[in-house]
């Protein structure tokens, strides 16, 4: 006799239908209209689903820019678009435009696409990001996410013991091919010196999970190690966090939203957008707290202020 396995969680009493997409990360949420006002109970359930699955996705949500920002405000303070990049929409300075055919692409493929957590070079990296698909190519352009809590959990105990007490510098440098960036954009992104020391393992403020908190884009080096040792340890951690078993891949459609817990995930910008097709996305971020390590010590800034 064959036992059937449910493909998704049953609809809640609130009408939400949560459908996990992978074993450790990612769930689609159906049964909610984000263009309408949300009850505190629905907001609470979305938040708990986010904490459980680390990134949640919504389909067929034709939000205006104001509604996009309004949805974010249910979960915290919506920040300015970016610490360095000026907003493309003066009437909505909270929105960051990410468009492969405009200046906002920072030179497109000339910047190496690496796994990263958003804005970790500031003292209080965003709690979450919400990305909205505005113009989506017919194929290609998927975004991948990895669960950094499960990545930490799956390290061997000796490695976990070693990294629990380490700290790393994060800074606002980009992996740019020399001399090949759109003129002026490198100097714009790096116009401020933003550097922060974060714990290599942070404690998630809502779930209590230990989270691997380094990323190939913005982590410079581990403070307690020599640069050579740091390079080897970070390379091992980066290879580990990229393991397919910790990841999910999201195929975009117009009016889709991805809402990720920036405290416990990293994501990868796509590089397979077909030539001649536009991919235009709009992102907001929600203000975060100062990360705290396993020993209870908080992050501290070397250069720059908190992001809010």
- Active-site amino acid positions: 116, 118, 267, 283
- Of 190, 245, 180, 241, give the one whose Cα is nearest residue 214: 241
Q: Are 204 and 262 in contact (CB under 8 A)?
A: no
Residue indicated by tokens 């929600």: 286
Give residue for tokens 């982590």: 219
Contacts of 2 (CB under 8 A, 6+ apart): none
Tokens of 78: 């919506």
Q: What tokens appear for 30 in the block?
A: 């159906």
Compute the distance between CA of residue 62 and CA of residue 88 in angstroms, rounded to an integer: 20
Residue 282 in contact with residue 63, Cβ under 8 Å?
no
47 closest CA partner among 297, 291, 295, 286: 286
| Integer Cα distance of 262 and 269 in angstroms | 15
Give the integer Cα–Cα distance in Å for 273 and 264: 27
CA distance 174 to 106: 10
Contacts of 308 (CB under 8 A, 6+ apart): 77, 79, 124, 287
Cα–Cα dist 49/143, whole Å: 19
Closest-CA residue to 294 (of 213, 221, 217): 213
Which residue is it, tokens 């200046």?
103
Residue 202 has φ and ψ, to the nearest 5°, of -100, 160
SS3 category, 125: coil
């Amino acid at each position: 006799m064959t036992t059937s396995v449910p493909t998704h969680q049953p609809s809640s009493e609130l009408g939400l239908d949560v459908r996990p997409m992978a074993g450790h990360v990612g769930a689609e949420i159906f049964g909610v209209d984000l263009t309408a006002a949300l009850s505190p109970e629905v907001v609470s359930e979305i938040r708990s689903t986010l904490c459980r699955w680390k990134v949640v996705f919504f389909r067929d949500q034709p939000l205006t820019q104001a509604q996009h920002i309004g949805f974010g405000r249910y979960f915290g303070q919506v920040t300015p678009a970016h610490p360095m990049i000026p907003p493309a929409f003066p009437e909505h300075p909270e929105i960051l435009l990410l468009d492969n055919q405009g200046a906002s692409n920072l030179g497109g493929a000339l910047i190496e696409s690496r796994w990263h957590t958003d804005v970790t070079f500031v003292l209080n990296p965003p709690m979450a990001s919400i990305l909205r698909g505005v113009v989506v190519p017919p194929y290609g352009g998927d975004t991948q996410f990895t669960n950094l809590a499960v990545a930490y959990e799956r390290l061997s105990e000796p490695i976990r013991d070693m990294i629990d007490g380490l700290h790393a510098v994060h800074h606002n440098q980009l992996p740019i091919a020399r001399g090949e960036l759109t003129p002026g954009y490198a100097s714009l992104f790096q116009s401020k010196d933003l550097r922060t020391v974060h714990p290599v393992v942070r404690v998630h403020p809502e779930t209590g999970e230990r989270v691997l908190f380094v990323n190939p884009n913005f982590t410079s080096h581990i403070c307690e190690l020599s640069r050579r040792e740091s390079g080897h340890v970070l390379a091992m951690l980066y290879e580990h966090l990229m393991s397919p078993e910790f990841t999910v891949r999201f195929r975009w459609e117009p009016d889709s939203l991805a809402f990720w817990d920036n405290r416990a995930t990293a994501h990868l910008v796509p590089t397979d957008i077909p030539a001649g097709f536009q991919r235009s996305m709009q992102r907001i971020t929600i203000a975060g707290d100062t990360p705290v390590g396993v020993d209870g010590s908080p992050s501290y800034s070397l250069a720059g202020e908190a992001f809010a």
